[in-house]
Chains A and B, each alone.
Chain A
């Protein structure tokens, strides 16, 4: 069975602060994919990134960066210089090879105040 844990329920920061959202996953499969999704107040989940288990290279996209560490089973997400528009619930998710479904964590609500 797969499990995704997002221990931070809610994080509040002031605009321009950096913030890291934690994600820890569990799976016995050696081939798997990790994801981050954003759910803004409007409610529609938006795909942000996919990582496969064989690619531990960190990725940066604008103000977003992701740190994948198999040794600690973590896939953390950092937002640099946060903005009010980053306020949303962020979900980490996992799928394993051969299965099309995603297992989501409970999400972290990020509140960025001006």
Chain B
């Protein structure tokens, strides 16, 4: 499978715990995005990388959220001190240069905070 893969697919955690999600984009794609989707809503942009550089962060992204893409390949999204409002599907997407907006999405990582 050469698509975007995300791990874990499901995560249940208690409020206050830290969680980390991993995304492996399509190998030749240099742009990587994180979005969050809640029930009945469209995806909301969180952050974006071009290679290893984090170029944009949404104002929605509180200080408890951090994302990295250390070698310009896979990326991690960490949420510290989780809150119930963090419960959502976290989507990763990637795209190559020269295809604006044509994102290839993974299946998402569903977070449930109890």
Contacts and interface: CB of A to CB of B under 8 A. Distances in A.
B102 A50 contact: yes
Interface stretch (A13-21, A38-46, A55-63, A71-79): A38-46
B41 interface: yes
Q: How large is the interface on A (under 10, 10 to 19, 20 to 34, 35 or more residues)?
A: 20 to 34
Interface stretch (B18-26, B43-51, B64-72, B76-84): B43-51
A112 to B, nearest CB: 20
A43 B108 contact: yes
A33 B101 CA distance: 8
Contacts of B100: 33, 50, 95, 100
Interface residues of B, number: 25
A104 B44 contact: yes
Contacts, number: 60
A7 interface: no
B40 A106 contact: yes
A55 B26 CA distance: 29
B89 interface: yes
A113 to B, nearest CB: 21
Interface string B94-114: 000000111111111000000
Nearest to B105: A45
Given A37-B103, A44-B105, A104-B42, 18 more contacts: A4-B42, A44-B106, A44-B108, A45-B93, A45-B103, A45-B105, A47-B101, A50-B102, A91-B42, A100-B55, A101-B33, A101-B56, A102-B45, A102-B101, A103-B45, A105-B42, A106-B41, A107-B40
